[in-house]
A = this chain, B = another copy of it.
Amino acid sequence: MTTPLRIALAGLGTVGSGVIRLINENGAMIAQRAGRPIEISAISARDRARDRGMDLSPYKWADDMNDFAADPGVDCVVEMIGGSDGPALDLARNSLKSGKSFVTANKAMIAHHGMELASLAEKQNLALKYEAAVAGGIPVIKGLREGASANRIERVYGILNGTCNYILTTMEKHGSDFDAVLKDAQDLGYAEADPSFDIDGVDAAHKLAILAALSFGKAVDFDGVEIAGIRDIVAADIGQAKALGYRIRLLGMARIDDGKLFQRVNPYLVPESHPLAHIDGSTNAVVAEGNFSGRLMFQGAGAGDGPTASAIVADLIDIARGDSGTVFAMPASKMAASERAESGNRTGKSYIRFIVADKPGVLAEITAAMRDAEVSIESLIQTEKTNEGSVLISMVTHQSLERDVIQSLEKLSDSSSLQGAPVVMHLLSDED
């Protein structure tokens, strides 16, 4: 088979340019590995005039990327424009309906419309691939869909957002507070001007919903992810976690609880003995625990043009090699929607931190509320004055129902002693 796989690129930002660079640089080797060349046949982007630092004249330009769908010179469309709906989704639908394979880096679109697109692709025996949508250059979609395919996956979880991990581990290293590190990260280009998608956990939730669908064979359910971000974490939280032998990481966590799908993005206290505790900076890492494989972990760069291009072209090589098979680990038609597990039913240890007025009786008030909700305290880690003259109180509960923890905090919600909402994080355990 030496007919080239002819691809069309939609979007020529850093990722799109990275794909062109990769194919130019590694093309001969790729042709040997794929059994045939991968050839860029057409390109499209919003602004044709923009200087992208490379010669685009060899490639056919399309003013409207939807022309790819009707182009007999295109076998596969690669989407790198982003956005869960709008032009990206139109392009995906048009391309698949016209019999083109489709490769995308678009986690939001797969998280929201993955089932529809997978059905479209599978009905026509077309490939729909999205390795670049989760954890950048790390081949974790392949790792779950194929590498771990013999296993019932018990849990899938990990560090799915590099910006958050960069912020948390920089806070950890320098003892600095969230706002200062975020500002530095923005100045360095590690965080967006509007960082909310990252730091509020939405980006991680998109990826988690995809990983969960792959792992458990349930329909992608982004709306079922409970989401909390890292905005409210202060340097003292990290210090107190450290004193307990933990590091704070924003984790996406998915598992099946009594037949129901549990999905959560939340900061966790990760024991230092766990491999995720050693993932620093903007690195991503995904853990899958299989009933035969045991714990597998995949780590690497979660973003960037090189890693993302690496994942996109790996998908293209798979297509060129004739990889068929389903979009997720099993046919989309068999992936039923799952009931959602309630986090309140879960049991575990929680870290709870309050900022309170520095006056007598506050600790009594807090501990009474917890007693009334039947939450028992394993350790009151430390109370510490803040710069503003308030006091920071942190504690770790014994194994408790999460519902009871929430209830204890609700009892305190009207308290005039509390300054701001308490922060709750879970302690990652093997049973979590």
Contact = CB atoms under 8 A, between A and B. Distances in A.
Contacts of A295: 300-301
A271 B4 CA distance: 44
Contacts of A311: 150, 293
Q: Which of A32, A137, A142, A300 is the most central at the interface, judged by chain B CB atoms within 10 Å of its CB?
A: A300
A430 B35 CA distance: 32
B325 A324 contact: no
A74 to B, nearest CB: 20
B30 A138 contact: no
A114 interface: no
Given A300-B293, A322-B325, A146 B142 contact: yes
Contacts of A292: 18, 22, 26, 137, 306-307, 309-310, 313
A30 B153 CA distance: 12
Q: Which of A18, A26, A142, A147 is the most central at the interface, judged by chain B CB atoms within 10 Å of its CB?
A: A147
B29 A217 contact: yes
Contacts of A326: 33, 35
Contacts of A297: 297-300
Interface string A315-351: 0111001111110011100100000000000000000
Contacts of A324: 321-322
A296 interface: yes
A307 B152 CA distance: 13
A310 B325 contact: no
Nearest to A141: B147
A218 to B, nearest CB: 12
Contacts of A329: 33
A278 interface: yes
A126 interface: no
Nearest to A335: B32
A322 B326 CA distance: 12
A293 B310 contact: yes
Contacts of A137: 290, 292-294, 296
Nearest to A321: B325
A366 interface: no
A197 B156 CA distance: 35
Contacts of A334: 32
A139 interface: yes
A291 interface: yes
A202 interface: no
Nearest to A324: B322
A294 B138 CA distance: 9
A273 B318 CA distance: 34
A314 B150 contact: yes
Given A32-B330, A330-B33, A148 B294 contact: no
A143 interface: yes
Given A32-B334, A143-B143, A314-B149, A306 B293 contact: yes
Contacts of A304: 294
A394 to B, nearest CB: 27
A234 B4 CA distance: 56
B217 A314 contact: no
Interface string A2-36: 00000000000000001000100110011011110
Contacts of A312: 150
B138 A32 contact: no
A275 interface: yes
A279 to B, nearest CB: 8
Contacts of A35: 325-326, 331
A317 B149 contact: yes
B299 A293 contact: no
10 contacts: A35-B331, A139-B143, A139-B148, A142-B146, A143-B298, A291-B306, A292-B310, A293-B300, A293-B306, A293-B311
Counting from the closest, the 10 A-B pairs by CB-CB distance are A139-B147, A150-B313, A293-B310, A137-B293, A292-B310, A296-B300, A292-B306, A278-B278, A32-B330, A294-B301
Given A26-B152, A32-B334, A139-B296, 7 more contacts: A32-B331, A137-B296, A139-B143, A151-B310, A293-B310, A294-B300, A299-B299
